[in-house]
Structures are given as structure tokens and as C-alpha cells.
């Protein structure tokens, strides 16, 4: 009895410590990490400007000061939320408006600096700790499993990183956990208000991310399995009415997306047209699974990194086996929330080609399911599992702490080279940066402007202007950001100059017109 009491108190102490550290990591250095391409879109929208508006103003071929690019990232109190929704509906319909409307309101109240902007996601990330506890209680009816799940979520390097990103994924995780918990509560209580709340939470999730469709599909599959395809049961009737209400509430934005479908297809074309080997897809999936609890390597390049990934994936597989053997029937919902989102994206990649499934953020519901499955496994009171639980939490917290010290982490994807680009440009007494709209350049150029020193000159071009670009005189060192190769070669011949490649990765090139060549 005494040893059990001590273990319980130590468990509570460990949970409390993980919560404190998890909250602290979500709030630490919010303004220090690189503002990257996707976050830039959030910041400009929150400031009150549309994509068309700032690009029309800056991509006109003139030379302007970096301060003008920063102007479009400062909150404009004269713009209304309704203006922003209209702009989003026209320019970026693949992103439903809820998160972006909330950011507009947030920066209007608290300020538009980067740390404040990201603090909204941190708040959602912290709230998700409480919603996952509720969800785990509905699933397992076990405080130890619920507490362990929360500790794992608090320490998870993946969820810490996305609680610090000015995008919708932390809010989506919150709605996913709340709606899944509410679904189980509605089934258990059969209260009308519970089904209404489930419908509301599902609508909010859809208005946050279209990928919520995979969550809804998992929920529907679970309901069909649970009710044995019988349409007349009380649960079947209530869930049908709830889903119908959800569909009606989402109809306006769904109709808008259908009207902008061609634009949506163009923006997502990269996910279908880039082809990588099937073994690479599976390796990336394994790395993404492991990143829920360990994240020391941006890429798997060493034997140790592969071994650690393999151990993490093996632990997750053991968790699923134990869940299927021992958990209550509601475990089917958790398994479906892992299988369906991954299957919806990975299946087409394996069959038709593409990289839909490699972006970890699009599979957030699956990683929540992994956390809860691990929470169930690692709450086992056997001494060996207590040791494993402690090791996993230490490794997760160490991973998150390591990421917290870095300006550039793997989540910054297309923008990881920007700090080096800025350092090269800022080293020159006078500089002109010439850029275009190709290869993510528009968003990256705006994100780069935050890193450039005051007084830096910019000249941004659309394709026709870049093709006919005339090199200006007396502007200092001229840098070319992601120049179109044919246009750059033609410019060299036309202007009788030489260019030199300074920096390059998969998404970014920085060239310089060599000194003395003009």
C-alpha cells in the first residue's frame, strides 16, 4: 500500500513536471525562430492585406527600400475581418478562414510582432493538453493512461514545434481532440446537446483545415463499425443528424472552394507532380512516426539516426498491438484516426506517385493517435514499462529543448537557407536584391525582408520584367534570388557581365553579379 502511494505521488510529480516543461517549451523564444514562407502568408493576412494587393504593389519592377516590404507585415487597423475573409476566399481558398480570422483579431488586440503572432498557436497547443486528457479518459476510462498521454503530448517535439508556428495546425489538433472526445461522450450519454456540441466542433475543425475530412471519414467508419451498419439505432440516427448539420454549416466555404477548384489544383500540383521512390516514401513515414517522440536529426544520415528511428517505430507498433489486445472497444476510433489520414495521402502516393504524405503537419490527427496509443502502453504499472516511460519522456523533452535553441528547424522547409542568404547580403555596404515570383520566391522574399538590414534595396519582377531586365547602375552589389536560368544567361550576354552562384538548396539559389563586371 505504501509503495503504491509513493508511485502515485511520483507519477503525479512527473506529470506536473512534464506539463510545466511542455508549456515552457511552447512559450520559449517565440520570436526567435525563422519566419518562413507559409508563416509569412499568415502574417500578411493578419496585417490586413491580400496576396494580390501586396504582390501588385511590389512586383512592378521598380527599386524600393526593404521598409516597404515590411509595411505589408504591419497591422492595418483600417482593414476589417470581412475584407480578410473575402481576400482569402479569392486568393487562397484551400485554407479555410477560421484560424486566419482569429489571428487578425489577435494581432489587432495584442500587437503584430512575430512572438505575439505565434503566441496564439502556443495557446492552442497548451489547450490541447487538456483536451487530450478528456479524450484519453473517454477512450480508456483510466487516469494513468490519460495522464501519461498528456505527459507524452507535452514533451512531444513535433507538437512543441507546431505550437510555435503561425499556421493552423495547433488549432486543428485542438479541434481534432475535442471533437473525437465529444463523439465518444455523445455515444456514451446519448444527450442531444452532446451531439450538437460534436457537430459544432466538427464544423470548427472543417473551417480550420480541409484535411479534417479524413478525421470525419474516420469518425463515420467508426460509427458504421460500432452500429454494425444498422441505420435505425439511436446512435446512428443522432450521428446522421449531426453530420448533416455539419455539412450544411460548411456548405458556404465548400461552394467557394468548388468555384475556385482550378486555382486549388494549381496550388497543390507540386504534391502530385514531384515523384520520389516508394522506399523513400516509407522511410519518411517512419521518420515522421518517430518524430512524435524523438527529433534529433532533420534528416536520417547516420547509422545512429536509423537505429533510433527503428526503435521509436517499433515502440509505436508494440503500442498498437497492446491497444488492440487490451483497450476497450473505443480503441477502434483511435486506430482509424491513425490509419485513415495516412492512407488517404500515402495510398495515392504509392499507386500514382507524388509526395502528398511526406508533410508531417498534414497528418496531425495520426500523430495524436500515436501519442494516445503510447500513453495507453506506457501507463502499464510493470517496472520495465515505467523505465521505458521515463526514457521516452526524457528523450522527447531533450529533442524539444534542442529544437528550441535553433533558429532554423526542419519545419521551415522551403525557407531554411534564408538566414545564410541574409547574412551574405547584409555583409555588403550597399546591396540590391533582385527577385521574382518563381519557386516559392514571393513568400520567401517577403520572409527574407525581415532579416535584411535597414536600407537594403529590392527590385522584384514578374516573368516578363525579369526577361527584359536592365541592370541598374550605382546600386552597390547586385544579388539575384532564384533567377530563371534562361533569363539569367540571356542577361549575362546582354549586359556583358558574369554571375556567380553563392548559395543553393532544393528551394533557393542566391547569385551575385561579380564585382567589376558592370
pLDDT for res 238: 96
pLDDT-derived band of residue 253, with 50, 70 and 90 as boundaries?
confident
pLDDT at residue 269 is higher than 80: no
Q: Pick the more confident residue, 421 or 474.
A: 421
pLDDT for res 263: 66
Q: Which of 163, 183, 188 is nearest to 173 (CA)?
A: 163
CA angle 35, 281, 288 (to 5 degrees): 50
Residue 185 CA to residue 139 CA, distance in Å, equals 9
Provide, rounded to the nearest whole percent, the portion of the chain with pLDDT above 70. 97
pLDDT for res 35: 96
pLDDT at residue 303 is higher than 80: yes
Q: What is the mean pLDDT of residues 17-25?
A: 95
Find all residues with CB under 8 Å of 195, minimum gap 6, and list them: 186, 238, 239, 241, 242
Q: Pick the more confident residue, 276 or 374.
A: 374
CA 246 to chain centre: 24
Residue 140 CA to residue 330 CA, distance in Å, equals 8
pLDDT at residue 433 is higher than 60: yes
Q: Pick the more confident residue, 220 or 53.
A: 220
pLDDT for res 480: 97
Would you call 342 helix, strand, or coil by DSSP? helix
Pairing of β 457-460 and β 63-65? antiparallel
The three three-digit cell numbers of residue 313, written as one number:
517505430
**Residue spans of alpha helices (H) in 190-302:** 192-206, 212-226, 234-259, 261-267, 269-273, 278-290
pLDDT at residue 266 is higher than 80: no
pLDDT-derived band of residue 3, with 50, 70 and 90 as boundaries?
low
Q: How far is CA 222 from CA 11, 197, 346, in A?
A: 33, 18, 21
pLDDT at residue 517 is higher than 60: no
Q: Which long-range contacts (CB under 8 A, 24 or more apart) does 386-392 make?
A: 388/315, 389/148, 390/14, 392/152, 392/293, 392/315
Residues 311-358 have pLDDT tens digits of: 999 999 999 999 999 988 889 999 999 999 999 999 999 999 988 899
pLDDT-derived band of residue 254, with 50, 70 and 90 as boundaries?
confident
Q: Outline where DSSP puts E strands in 371-486.
A: 431-435, 457-460, 477-481
pLDDT for res 4: 63
Buried b / exposed e along 77-93 (16+ C-beta atoms within 10 A): eebeeeebbebbbebbb
Residues 434-470 have pLDDT tens digits of: 999 887 788 999 999 999 999 999 999 998 999 999 9
Residue 433 CA to residue 418 CA, distance in Å, equals 13
pLDDT at residue 7 is higher than 70: no
Amino acid at each position: 500500500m505504501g509503495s503504491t502511494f509513493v508511485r502515485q505521488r511520483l507519477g503525479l510529480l512527473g506529470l506536473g513536471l512534464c506539463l510545466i516543461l511542455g508549456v515552457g517549451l511552447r512559450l520559449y523564444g517565440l520570436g526567435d525562430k525563422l519566419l518562413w514562407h507559409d508563416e509569412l502568408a499568415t502574417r500578411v493576412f493578419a496585417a490586413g492585406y491580400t496576396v494580390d494587393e501586396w504582390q501588385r504593389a511590389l512586383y512592378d519592377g521598380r527599386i524600393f527600400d526593404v521598409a516597404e516590404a515590411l509595411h505589408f507585415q504591419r497591422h492595418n487597423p483600417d482593414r476589417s475581418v470581412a475584407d480578410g475573409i473575402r481576400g482569402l476566399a479569392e486568393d487562397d481558398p484551400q485554407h479555410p478562414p477560421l484560424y486566419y480570422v482569429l489571428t487578425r483579431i489577435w494581432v489587432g488586440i495584442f500587437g503584430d510582432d512575430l512572438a505575439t503572432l505565434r503566441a496564439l498557436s502556443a495557446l492552442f497547443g497548451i489547450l490541447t493538453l487538456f483536451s487530450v486528457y478528456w479524450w484519453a479518459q473517454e477512450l480508456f476510462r483510466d487516469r494513468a493512461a490519460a495522464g501519461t498521454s498528456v505527459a507524452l503530448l507535452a514533451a512531444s517535439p513535433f507538437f512543441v514545434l507546431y505550437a510555435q508556428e503561425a499556421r493552423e495546425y495547433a488549432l486543428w489538433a485542438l479541434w481534432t481532440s475535442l471533437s473525437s472526445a465529444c463523439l465518444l461522450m455523445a455515444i456514451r450519454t446519448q444527450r442531444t446537446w452532446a451531439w450538437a456540441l460534436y457537430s459544432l466542433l466538427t464544423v470548427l475543425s472543417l473551417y480550420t483545415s480541409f484535411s479534417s475530412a479524413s478525421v470525419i471519414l474516420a469518425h463515420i467508419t467508426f460509427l458504421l463499425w460500432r452500429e454494425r451498419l444498422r441505420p435505425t439505432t439511436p446512435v446512428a440516427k443522432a450521428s446522421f443528424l449531426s453530420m448533416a448539420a455539419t455539412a450544411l454549416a460548411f456548405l458556404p466555404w465548400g461552394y467557394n472552394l468548388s468555384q475556385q477548384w482550378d486555382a486549388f489544383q494549381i496550388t497543390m500540383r507540386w504534391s502530385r507532380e514531384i515523384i520520389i521512390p516508394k522506399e523513400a516514401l516509407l522511410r519518411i513515414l517512419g521518420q515522421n512516426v518517430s518524430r512524435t517522440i524523438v527529433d534529433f536529426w532533420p534528416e536520417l544520415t547516420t547509422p545512429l539516426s536509423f537505429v533510433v528511428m527503428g526503435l521509436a517505430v517499433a515502440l509505436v507498433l508494440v503500442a498498437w498491438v497492446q491497444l488492440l489486445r487490451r483497450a476497450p472497444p473505443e480503441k477502434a476510433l483511435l486506430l482509424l484516426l491513425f490509419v485513415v489520414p495516412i492512407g488517404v495521402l500515402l495510398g495515392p502516393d504509392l499507386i500514382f506517385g507524388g509526395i502528398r504524405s511526406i508533410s508531417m503537419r498534414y497528418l496531425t490527427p495520426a500523430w495524436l493517435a500515436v501519442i494516445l496509443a503510447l500513453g495507453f502502453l506506457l501507463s502499464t504499472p510493470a517496472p520495465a514499462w515505467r523505465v521505458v516511460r521515463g526514457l521516452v519522456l526524457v528523450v522527447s523533452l531533450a529533442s524539444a529543448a534542442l529544437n528550441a535553441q535553433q533558429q532554423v528547424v526542419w519545419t521551415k522547409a522551403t525557407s531554411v537557407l534564408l538566414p545564410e542568404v541574409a547574412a551574405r547580403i547584409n555583409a555588403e555596404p550597399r546591396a540590391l536584391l533582385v527577385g521574382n515570383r518563381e519557386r516559392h520566391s514571393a513568400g520567401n522574399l517577403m520572409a527574407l525582408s525581415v532579416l535584411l538590414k535597414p536600407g537594403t534595396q529590392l527590385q522584384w519582377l514578374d516573368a516578363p520584367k525579369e526577361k527584359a531586365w536592365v541592370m541598374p547602375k550605382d546600386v552597390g552589389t547586385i544579388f539575384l534570388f532564384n533567377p530563371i536560368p534562361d533569363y539569367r544567361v540571356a542577361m549575362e550576354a546582354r549586359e556583358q557581365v558574369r554571375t556567380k552562384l553563392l548559395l543553393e538548396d532544393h528551394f533557393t539559389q542566391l547569385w551575385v553579379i561579380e564585382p567589376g563586371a558592370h
